[in-house]
């Protein structure tokens, strides 16, 4: 009976740890989120110390976390991908199971690493967690380190080490916390050395982060600033895609934009795919055409729209030759052009100044996985979106924008469409190419009134910290927000409301350590830990 009791107890504690991690993800930007994440790390460590099957128990904890944190996913799949209720929930179960593999890997690696001298420093679980966050691909890459956004002097370390190493730090603190409690219970005395280690680590991290924030404050004080307007028109999913409403939808955005320019906005931003009329990429002068979004707005505009370019006849014939069944399918006509989810920059006079095509497309909503390799898949799901992946990496640049002092300056913007603000490498590429701002154009209406828009915003905030840039998030139904280089949300519009955010934003330059190196230091630590697990003899036989 004893092994059965151990199984039940350890699995139950792992599930409680998954619930604590869920609470951390559902209440972002709060100290409660930080505390929940810390407790979760401590509980997972307790399981690792007592369980005879750590990987199995961690898998159950990961299942609980995925099911509860991403509860909104089935409805989104139904609405966004057009799947049936049963198929949507089947996909959700598959998603949860594959997401839980991250936790299973943590448990397996911990068993290996804890048999080395790393165990004496309690680094087995932090390095295992770090490795799993780096290795396992995740559709929604929520990390335990994201909870630290509520403590600016700790989250500031993101400009040096990024989120994965912050996750390892938070897990390590949870491990030490658990050890303190267990040693106090088992030995009846406070582990002074361990408490000292926690205190020193926190003081050092806090000090480095505070110094980094002070340096950014100096840069903000001397940087050029421009007035920007972020427009949220609040078009629901059906209204936005209703052909009969396209003109009135755009007019709503124009009306709000004119009012913003009257209040001093020097640049106006609209969210993803506001313009649902297909723009030919070859068209450079938009003013006076039916594709013109401005119509007297009076300021340069960056907006989300749809665009296309024709494929050559030879390329179309090559596709049809390789997949003859497509030659007789109505889809052949669609092969004649490549369609993009785009961001278009236009001057106040209607001249196209920049163009960006979304690179990371959402499966089943914007593309069919593997359809580039097997185009015949498009005949199986003909109603799924068929966007092409963009290949433009340069920022969208407005050459002359009026600053708050009345001068004119160049403004370069790294544009991220929808999900792309969750991918650090894209933001790093933009910073390396001279972007002064990061701009995310999004339509989160698919998520409804759930936790998803808040979770999306939390993950995006870290791009501001990592690059030390302002992040402007312009959404159709919320959350539209301005995030400063500290990662703090300075202004936001709530869900399903119409409005405009006006903000002065600083144009910053230069690269951070994380912008230059990315996750290379994290990978080196993981590799070193794995090498130790293969080469070193066990430090001890127990699981403590």
User: Is 445:418 a contact under the CB 8 Å cutoff?
Assistant: no
What secondary structure letter does DSSP report for 182? H
User: Do residues 460 and 440 lie in contact, with contact meaning Cβ atoms separated by under 8 Å?
Assistant: yes
Contacts of 199 (CB under 8 A, 6+ apart): none
Sorted by sequence, the CB contacts under 8 Å of residue 102 that are 6+ apart come out as 62, 132, 133, 136, 138
Mean pLDDT lowest among 20-29, 88-97, 512-521, 534-543: 534-543
Instruction: Look at residue 317 in the predicted model and tell me its pLDDT.
Output: 62
Contact status, residue 357 vs residue 388, Cβ threshold 8 Å: yes
Under 8 Å between Cβ of 116 and 532: yes
Q: What percent of the chain has pLDDT over 70?
A: 85
Compute the distance between CA of residue 20 and CA of residue 91 in angstroms, rounded to an integer.
Answer: 25
At 370, the pLDDT band (50, 70, 90 cuts) reads low
Neighbours of 151 (CB within 10 A): 14
Angstrom distance (rounded) from CA 431 to CA 511: 7
Identify which has the larger pLDDT, 118 or 34: 34
Residue 480's nearest CA partner among 506, 444, 437 is 444
Which pLDDT belongs to residue 241? Answer: 63
Which residues, including other chains, have CB under 8 Å from residue 231's CB and lie 6 or more apart?
253, 256, 257, 260, 268, 269, 270, 271, 474, 480, 500
pLDDT digits (tens, 9 = 90+) for 429-453: 999 999 999 999 998 888 889 999 9
For residue 323, is the peptide bond before it cis, meaning its omega torsion is within 30 degrees of 0?
A: no
Say which range, 274-283, 379-388, 455-464, has the weakest mean pLDDT.
379-388
Residue 378 pLDDT exceeds 90: no
Q: 148, 154 in Cβ contact below 8 A?
A: yes
Highest mean pLDDT among 176-180, 182-186, 355-359, 480-484: 480-484
For β-strands 267-269 and 301-310, DSSP reports them as parallel
Torsion of CA 100, 102, 105, 107, to 10 degrees: -70
Q: Which pLDDT belongs to residue 18?
A: 97
**What per-residue confidence (pLDDT) applies to 527?**
92
Q: For position 542, what pLDDT does the model report?
A: 41
- Most confident option among 78-82, 114-118, 251-255: 251-255
Q: What is the DSSP letter of 216?
A: H
The residue-averaged pLDDT of 88-112 equals 92
| Domain architecture of the chain: domains with CATH | 2-68+101-219+518-535 (no CATH), 224-507 (3.60.110.10)
Q: What percent of the chain has pLDDT over 90?
A: 59
pTM for the predicted model, two decimal places: 0.88
The C-alpha torsion from 82 through 85 and 86 to 91, rounded to 10°, is 60
3-state SS string for 453-522: HHHHHHHHHHHHHHHCCEEEEEECCCCEEEECCCCCEEEEECCCCCEEEEEEEECCCCCCHHHHHCCHHH
pLDDT value at 2 more than 70: no
Q: What whole-number distance in Å separates Cα of residue 126 and Cα of residue 134?
A: 12
Confidence of residue 72 (pLDDT cuts 50, 70, 90): very high
Spell out the residues 6+ positions from residue 108 whose beta carbon is closer than 8 angstroms to its own: 54, 55, 128
Nearest one of 96, 162, 168 to 130, comparing CA atoms: 168
Beta strands per DSSP E along 74-174 = none
Measure Cα distances from 349 to 18, 292, 354 in Å.
54, 10, 14
The SS3 call for residue 310 is strand
Q: Of 2-16, 54-68, 198-212, which gets the smallest average pLDDT?
A: 2-16
pLDDT value of residue 1: 41
State mean pLDDT over 111-121.
Answer: 81
DSSP for 416-454?
EEGGGGG-HHHHHHHHHTT-SEEEEEE--GGG-SSSHHH
Looking at residue 395, what DSSP letter applies?
Answer: P
Structure tokens at 248: 């009135």
Query: Out of 140-144, 198-202, 310-314, 460-464, which region has the weakest mean confidence (pLDDT)?
Result: 310-314
Give the residues across from 229 on adjacent strands.
Answer: 268, 502
d(CA 480, CA 453) in angstroms, rounded, equals: 10
What whole-number distance in Å separates Cα of residue 452 and Cα of residue 64?
17
Q: What is the mean pLDDT of residues 365-382?
A: 59
pLDDT value of position 541: 40
* Poorest-pLDDT segment among 348-352, 419-423, 435-439, 536-540: 536-540
Residue 242 reports pLDDT greater than 70:
no
Contact criterion met (CB below 8 Å) for 539 and 116: yes
- Residue 218: count of CB within 10 angstroms of its CB: 9
Burial zone of 78 (CB within 10 Å; 0-12 exposed, 13-18 middle, 19+ buried):
middle
* CA proximity to 121, closest of 217, 193, 224, 57: 193
For the chain, give the mean pLDDT.
86
């Amino acid at each position: 009976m004893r092994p059965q009791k151990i199984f039940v107890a350890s699995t139950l504690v792992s599930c409680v740890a998954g619930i604590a991690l869920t609470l951390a993800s559902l209440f972002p930007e709060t100290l409660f989120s930080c505390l929940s994440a810390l407790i979760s790390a401590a509980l997972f460590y307790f399981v690792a110390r007592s369980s005879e099957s750590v990987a199995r128990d961690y898998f159950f904890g990961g299942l609980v976390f995925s099911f509860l944190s991403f509860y909104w996913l089935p409805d989104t799949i139904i609405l966004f991908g057009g799947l049936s209720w049963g198929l949507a929930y089947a996909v959700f179960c598959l998603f949860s199971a594959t997401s839980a593999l991250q936790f299973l890997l943590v448990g397996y690696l911990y068993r290996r690493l804890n048999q080395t001298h790393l165990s004496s420093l309690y680094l087995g679980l932090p390095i295992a967690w770090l490795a799993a966050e780096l290795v396992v691909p995740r559709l929604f890459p929520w990390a335990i380190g994201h909870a630290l956004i509520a403590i600016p002097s700790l989250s500031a370390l993101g400009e040096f080490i990024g989120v994965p190493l912050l996750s390892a730090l938070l897990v390590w603190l949870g491990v030490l916390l658990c050890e303190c409690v267990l040693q106090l219970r088992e030995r009846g005395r406070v582990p002074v050395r361990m408490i000292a280690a926690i205190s020193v680590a926190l003081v050092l991290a806090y000090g480095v982060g505070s110094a980094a924030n002070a340096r950014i404050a100096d840069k903000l004080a001397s940087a050029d600033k421009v007035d920007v307007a972020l427009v949220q028109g609040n078009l629901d999913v059906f209204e936005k895609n209703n052909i009969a409403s396209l003109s009135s939808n755009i007019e709503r955005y124009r009306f709000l934009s004119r009012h913003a320019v009257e209040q001093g906005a020097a640049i106006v931003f609209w969210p993803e795919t506001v313009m649902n009329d297909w723009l030919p990429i070859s068209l450079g002068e938009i003013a006076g055409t039916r594709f013109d979004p401005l119509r007297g707005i009076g300021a340069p505009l960056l907006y989300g729209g749809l665009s296309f370019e024709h494929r050559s006849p030879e390329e179309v014939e090559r596709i049809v030759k390789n997949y003859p069944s497509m030659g007789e399918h109505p889809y052949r006509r669609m092969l004649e052009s490549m369609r993009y989810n785009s961001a278009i920059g236009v001057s106040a006079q209607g001249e196209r100044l920049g163009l960006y095509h979304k690179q990371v497309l959402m499966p089943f909503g914007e593309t069919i996985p593997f359809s580039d390799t097997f185009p015949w898949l498009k005949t199986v799901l003909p109603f799924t979106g068929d966007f092409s992946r963009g290949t433009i990496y340069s920022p969208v640049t407005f050459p002359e924008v009026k600053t708050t002092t009345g001068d004119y300056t160049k403004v370069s913007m790294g544009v991220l469409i929808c999900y792309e603000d969750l991918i650090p490498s894209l933001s790093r590429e933009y910073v390396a190419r001279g972007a002064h701002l990061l701009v995310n154009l999004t339509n989160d209406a698919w998520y409804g009134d759930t936790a998803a828009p808040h979770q999306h915003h939390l993950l995006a905030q870290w791009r501001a910290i990592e690059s030390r840039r302002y992040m402007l998030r312009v959404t159709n139904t919320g959350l539209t927000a301005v995030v400063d280089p500290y990662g703090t949300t300075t202004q936001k519009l709530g869900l399903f409301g119409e409005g405009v955010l006006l903000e002065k934003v600083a144009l910053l330059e230069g690269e951070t350590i994380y912008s230059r190196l990315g996750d290379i230091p994290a990978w080196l630590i993981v590799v070193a830990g794995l090498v130790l697990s293969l080469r070193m003899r066990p430090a001890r036989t127990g699981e403590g």
